[in-house]
Amino acid sequence: MPEASEIGRLRARVSRLEADVERLSAVLDNVTDIIALLKPVPFVEYVNSSIERVLGYKPADLFGKDLLSLMHPADRPVMEGALRVRGEKQGDVRPLECRAIHKDGSERTIESVFSVLAGNERGLTVIARDVTNRNAIEAQIVQAERMNAISRLAGGVAHDFNNILTVVSGYAELLSSRLEGQAILQGFAGQISKAADRAATLTGQLLSFSRRHVIHPDVLNLNDLVTSLHAALTAASGPRVELRLVLDEGLGNMKADRAQMEQILVSLVSNARASMPGGGCAEIETSMVPRGESAGHPSEESLGRFVRVAVHDNGVGIDEFARTHAFEPFTTGKHNAGGAGLALAAVFGAVKQNGGDIRVLSAPERGTTFEIVFPEHLDFKSERSGALNPLAVGGHETILLVEDDPGVRHLSLEILSDCGYKMLEAEDADEALRIHESHKGKIDLLVTDVVMPRMNGRELAQLVSTRSPQTKVLYVSAYTDDVMLRFGVLVSEVHFLQKPFTAPQLAGRVRQILDGES
């Protein structure tokens, strides 16, 4: 028999081993990653308590269970093959990412690393990590970068197209005015103007999507706006769709560009119609939402409430993939009935540019809801200035026109010369300064493009103002307000005309400035 001292030593050794096992178990149970032993592969001999946090199962529930039973059915063959290969190799292997099924039936994305169990025993150790949230964040970042790249492309295309449209629509108007008595030819010119207007609408959608449209915010009440648009919204919904209005009588005001808000509502109702090819019901609902219950996180300038508008339909609905990509331009499959194009992309851009947020709620065969929120605006005074007079008469003043696009310059020269103004023209700022220095008389107005080579319009205007403070300035650009801000032009604080413009718009703005109107 062993001596008492030997028994004591054995007991002490067992006690130390038990303490080591207890400490190791405590460490393993406090590790956030799942740690498991598969022996024999693929059956679970041990798993730490992190399995419950990630997949909802207690460790005791899984002892002796096949690991493959936890995998998504579509990923089981990949996992089975990986376990078979990795069970034959020594050492760590590259991570394997696959989907596992939570106890509640939801999916989780798991990243796993396997190691062959040391010694002669056939088994694998598994270290697994839940990367569901990480992947979602990475996807959001990729999506944001993608949308930003498309946005920059859209803004650049719209700028170049606006210059072209200015020339097309402007000369069509001039042609029509000089063809009096020739009805057929005037009709041709009119068709050109209409086509240019439709193209201008498209560039406006591109700019709205890219959030680079020059906006004119005003204090609005969405109830009043929806009511005033009822005829247009009814036409957009079509004869087979019933349009319902559910308007909150206590709705507060918001501040946004009226034209863009009209476009948003009409586009969403048109989208609802496309989702109900056999007919149905579209509903526009307005309400006030307390902070913290909104669809997103708009401007923090709100004192605590948001103005909400939602457009519901009971149409075919969309799946998760289509819902995730709903606001991308020219994405197909948004609805079974259609929906591809710029409309929803333009809605997204317009909402964001006006300080709001939008989300889409939908599922196949369960209809779709677009919900938009804007910060409440508590200043009830409208800030809209008077509209331009399209019938503005000309004058005799002297105007220095600076435009680097030859087509736009010649058109503007033609329009303003027809109005009776004395015109001086330059293709860039350097030439404009030479003309300004050599001209003997007074120059009443400088009409200048904003973005030009070597010297931009703002710098030119400052030099002209230093030499002749009485000269007024009108900025014209096909670029957008955020671009112009980088060139020192804040649209809300200067006289500005966005391309493409019509002859009455240019003539009216010029007359308005020369007459001293704000």
Domain map of the chain by residue range?
A: 24-130, 140-209, 217-375, 398-514
Pairing of strands 422-426, 496-498: unpaired
Mean pLDDT for 463-470 is: 90
Q: How far apart are CA 409 and CA 177, in angstroms?
A: 19
Mean pLDDT for 438-467 is: 89
* pLDDT at site 394: 77
Note the pLDDT tens digit of each residue in 149-165: 766 676 667 777 788 88
Bigger pLDDT: 15 or 514?
514
Handedness of CA 43, 45, 51, 57 (dihedral sign): positive
User: Which residues lie below 8 Å from residue 73, measured CB to CB, with a gap of 6+?
Assistant: none
Mean pLDDT for 30-56 is: 87
Is the model's pLDDT at 488 over the cut of 90?
no
Other CB atoms within a 10 A radius of the CB of residue 170 amount to 26
Bigger pLDDT: 218 or 21?
218
Is the model's pLDDT at 177 over the cut of 90?
no
Is the model's pLDDT at 339 over the cut of 50?
no
Contact present, 480 and 207 (Cβ < 8 Å): yes
Mean pLDDT for 327-339 is: 50
State the pTM of this model. Answer: 0.48
* pLDDT at site 295: 46
Mean pLDDT for 203-214 is: 60
Other CB atoms within a 10 A radius of the CB of residue 451 amount to 17
**CATH architecture assignment, domain 24-130:** 2-Layer Sandwich (3.30)
Pairing of strands 34-38, 398-402: unpaired
* pLDDT at site 286: 94
CATH topology assigned to domain 217-375:
Heat Shock Protein 90 (3.30.565)
* pLDDT at site 308: 94
Supply the mean pLDDT for the chain. Answer: 80
Give the model's confidence band at 334: pLDDT under 50 very low, under 70 low, under 90 confident, else very high.
very low
CATH class, domain 140-209, is mainly alpha
Give the model's confidence band at 387: pLDDT under 50 very low, under 70 low, under 90 confident, else very high.
very low
* pLDDT at site 292: 57
Bigger pLDDT: 4 or 361?
361
Name the residue among 422, 377, 416 with its Cα closest to residue 507.
Answer: 416
Q: Which two tokens stand for residue 46?
A: 């041990």
Name the residue among 258, 268, 249, 260 with its Cα closest to residue 225.
Answer: 258
C-alpha 331: how far from chain center: 14
CATH class, domain 398-514, is alpha beta
C-alpha 217: how far from chain center: 19
Mean pLDDT for 347-371 is: 87
